[in-house]
Amino acid sequence: MEINYKSGFQVPEPSSRPGDTPNFSYLSLPSPLDSVRPDTSCKASEMRDLAYGLVRVLDDSGMAVGPWNPNVDAEFLVRGLRAMEKTRLFDERMMRAQRQGKTSIYVQCRGEEAVSCAHQMALEKGDMCFPTYRQQGLLIAQDFPIVDMMCQIFSNAKDKLGGRSLPFFYSERDYGFFSISGNLGTQFIQSVGWAMASAIKGDDRIASGWIGDGASAESDFHAAMVFASVYQPPAVLNVVNNQWAISSFHGISGGAEANFACRGHGFNIASLRVDGNDFLAVYAASSWAIERARKNLGPTLIEWVTYRAAAHSSSDDPSKYRPDNSFDLWPLGDPILRLKNHMIQLGIWSEEKHQALIDELTLEIKEAGKQAESFGTLGKGSKPSVSEMFNHVYKDMPAHLRRQRQKLGV
């Protein structure tokens, strides 16, 4: 008789594929009132539940409720909304520029704007983020000059990085924005090293490290957790779980059998799982973790539950691996809409005001775009000199590089 042994090998599959109705039943949505906000001095071992729940502030009716409500004023809300909307409009414009051949590649953060914008608003000058390529909101929320971002995206003559780096791989030390690497995950342990240095020096500046759900499978993630656990440096470790790597869903990086936040437990690191599309929850949770770090009470791991609404990059076509209308049915909604509705509920905002904001930002971005394009776009107009290619390999150019440059005649 033939015995059929069931194979023990499994490859996780997302809940829906092209043609299916998006199914997000795997995500449970607790009410903001269900959450507990411990003191920032709480022991990691006494707040384990927070890694399994979901920190939220905005309820279904759009009101800010519960223990995590940061009770910010109207001016703050307007700033947040503006930063998120500006980030989205900037992305849209740069995406079009990419389609027009003005740059080689572009990455949007559509749907995830709250994560970077609200987090930035909780940081202080001197703190250092170690971002991925999807946290442009960290710069935009600080009113960083978008012309400079565009000049780099276009690799033109005003590109501060001399054309050496990929578009949108910004480096802005004075804005607490560490140089972006294309090698996934590497910055996560580097952020812990930076925080260790801050602790060694008795400094009160904190590091904020960033990684995606996909890249959290890299060894760098685990090294960061070990070092953060061992040395207890002032670091906030952010996993942006936007559900997708490129075409692989979070289950392929180990996020289906267990979530990302609870990975902190094995290291006894305080861990939060947060509604990343709730601007107020992001601000509240960031502030909590930042205060904890600044008071030298230990590092925090935060899983931001959000959704990558756009393609992975301008080179990607998500319709090949997930239903087209996924984001429309994403249970945590659109972070901009949610904050806007909240502000309308409060009576401090209106559709008219919002349209006026969009018009103003669109104009600002258009003007910036024109200005940036006047300095050239990729392969068109003025561009960084060829000799820039040889600069900054070392502090002082060694003889062999000088000879190579001279041979090229630049």
Interface residues toward ligand TPP, by CB under 6 A: 132, 134, 182-184, 212-215, 240, 242, 244-246, 308, 312
CB of 112 to other proteins, least distance (A): 24
CA 169/CA 135 separation, integer angstroms: 10
Nearer to ligand TPP, 54 or 240 (CB): 240
Nearer to ligand TPP, 74 or 258 (CB): 258
Q: Which residue is nearest to ligand TPP (CB)?
A: 212
Residue 219 binding: pick among Mg ion, ligand TPP, other proteins, none (C-beta 5-8 Å cut-off by kind)? other proteins
CA 107/CA 95 separation, integer angstroms: 8
Nearer to ligand TPP, 292 or 308 (CB): 308
The residues of the shown chain that bind other proteins, judged by CB under 8 A, are 128, 130, 160-162, 164-165, 169, 171-173, 178-181, 183, 186, 188-198, 200-201, 207, 219-220, 222-224, 226-227, 230, 391-395, 398-400
CA 121/CA 354 separation, integer angstroms: 21
CB of 260 to other proteins, least distance (A): 19
Tokens of 188: 């996560």
Question: In 10 A of CB 76, how many CB atoms?
Answer: 14
CA 258/CA 272 separation, integer angstroms: 14
Residue 134 binding: pick among ligand TPP, Mg ion, other proteins, none (C-beta 5-8 Å cut-off by kind)? ligand TPP
Nearer to other proteins, 50 or 195 (CB): 195
CB of 256 to other proteins, least distance (A): 26
CB of 251 to ligand TPP, least distance (A): 12
Nearer to other proteins, 6 or 201 (CB): 201
Phi, psi of 271 (to 5 degrees): -135, 130
3 state DSSP class of 271:
strand
CA angle 169, 173, 175 (to 5 degrees): 95
343-352: long-range contacts, CB 8 A cutoff, minimum separation 24: 343/74, 343/77, 343/78, 343/81, 344/62, 345/61, 345/62, 345/63, 346/74, 346/77, 348/74, 348/77, 348/78, 349/77, 349/78, 349/81
